[in-house]
Structure 1
């Protein structure tokens, strides 16, 4: 018997909730969307280390409460680490405050710290989106969007149609990914003669791209037709945005916690620099 491979690469798991239940799973989908919007606005206006650290702490605590396993995290390719090292080295050449004395020289760490701040901010935002994906059923997002956008109906904005489009896109995305993986696997398994010249390899590459695009469009059209028939059989698009789920006491507590965290982040970013500058 052969030993199982321990270094097998894990792909990104999105739009598929982690099995099980938890206080985070039971929250209303609209509450999670509001939390993501609030945190996104705060990190856009005040992308400092304190807001990033507080959001990262919130993500870790929420993942612990939701019982998110480490297996949902993808394997980072080595090329990504090399690009990060290259970017950090290039940014470090920009210098800037603060300066660190290395022997008789003064090295500026401003560019390196800015690069690290942007990198950590990107990782935190990706983790926030992944956490919502791992704890929320795709079918609950469209009704939540329709409920949150109900005031926009007074402006004659077709919020229900937008919610239906979002729901169909979220439901079709995982299916299309699986279909494309099957197509790529079948393409590799098909026996073909190996090209001998550079011109033949280039021609083979262009032909492969055209064939895969045509197959992908055909699969998408077939899936769309099947989904349309299923929606018609279940009562039309109105059933997609219809859901009795509404926010409860736990949602109010979660929103209060996130609002308090955002207020603390803004207070630290606004008043701490002013207080230090006066001294």
Structure 2
């Protein structure tokens, strides 16, 4: 009797163990690359741009040695939603069209759905690459360094960087705590309720209990994090860590600029030719 394959959960904000060229890049460089590719796909979401960004993401995954086990399992209901969306979009028709006997079938809606899906997957992959190859502690100094020109406008860049760093640090801990609470709730014996009203009331009581426990855990974690930050010199030390690009970062940024320029040029040529 074969055991059922265990689903892999979504793991966020935890870098993959090991080192590589991508791991050693400055966190600010990765943020700039993600911003550049996101802007490219937002303004020029054509198939040529999608293909170039996909090649870049694939090369980064290969250089970073990301294992297949880092990818979360895709639930079946998500595949069903994608199939339903593709079928619904296909009913819209549009060019290009092909003729199947006396019937004209338009693929315009289906192609647009596939393009939007591909862009969404690439954006998720870009964010996942930053999460898999970047230490959370390196994000705040990078944000503070990138936002340094905004200090001329009296914008509190360092405070924003500290708030972002604390949020990134707290999110994995709170996620683990909520998973633990949910598992403990499932282990509790369920009372036998015969009426629908009793079941609704029991569900409402359990939701209130979970929310109260979640708030308590969040406050406890915040208190512990505040004590740890105070012991290490305060919040100013979070954004004040030395951070900056190196030679590999400039090469990465140059490759990103070339890919974006190539994609924009091909998209413009394709639009003018069409």
- TM-score band by shorter chain is over 0.9
1:250 aligned residue (239, 248, 251): 248
In structure 1, the residue matched to 2:10 is: 12
Query: 1:1-279 to 2 correspondence within 5 Å?
Result: 5=3, 7-274=5-272, 276-277=273-274
In 1, Cα distance between equivalents of 2:68 and 2:224 = 35
1:240 is paired with a residue of what secondary structure? Answer: helix
186-195 or 54-63: bigger deviation = 186-195
Aligned residue pairs: how many?
274
Offset, 1:131: 0.7
CA shift, 1:195, in A, is: 1.2
Q: Distance in 2 between matches of 1:114 and 1:215?
A: 44
Higher mean Cα deviation, 188-197 or 144-153?
188-197
Regions of 4+ moved over 4 Å? none
How far is 1:157 from its partner? 0.3
C-alpha RMSD over aligned residues: 1.1
Could you tell me how far apart the structure 1 residues matched to 2:41 and 2:121 are? Answer: 12
- List runs of 5+ in structure 1 lacking aligned partners: none
Gaps of 5+ in 2: none
SS for the counterpart of 2:266 is helix
Q: Deviations over 1:232-266 (max 9, x none)?
A: 01100011112223211100000000110000110
Q: Which stretch shifts more, 183-192 or 46-55? A: 183-192
- What is the CA–CA distance in structure 2 between the aligned matches of 1:262 and 1:192, rounded to whole Å? 56
Instruction: Indicate conservation of the 8 Å contact 2:145/2:243, yes or no.
Output: no
Deviation for aligned residue 1:102: 1.3
Deviation at 1:191, TM superposition (A): 2.2
CA distance in 2, matches of 1:161, 1:242: 11
Cα distance in 1 for partners of 2:153, 2:79 equals 48
> 1:170-200, CA deviations, whole angstroms, 9 ceiling, x for partnerless residues?
0000000000011111111122422111111
Distance 2:170 2:219 in 1: 11
Return the alpha-carbon distance in structure 2 between the equivalents of residues 96 and 168 of structure 1: 48
Distance in 2, Cα, partners of 1:127 & 1:42? 15
| 1:6 Cα deviation after fit | 5.6
Q: Give the whole-Å Cα distance in 2 for the aligned partners of 1:205 and 1:112.
A: 41
CA offsets, 1:30-54, max 9 Å, x none?
A: 0000101111111111111111111
TM-score by length of 2: 0.98
The one-character-per-residue Cα deviations of 1:206-251 (angstroms, maximum 9, x if unpaired) are 1111111111111101100110011001100011112223211100
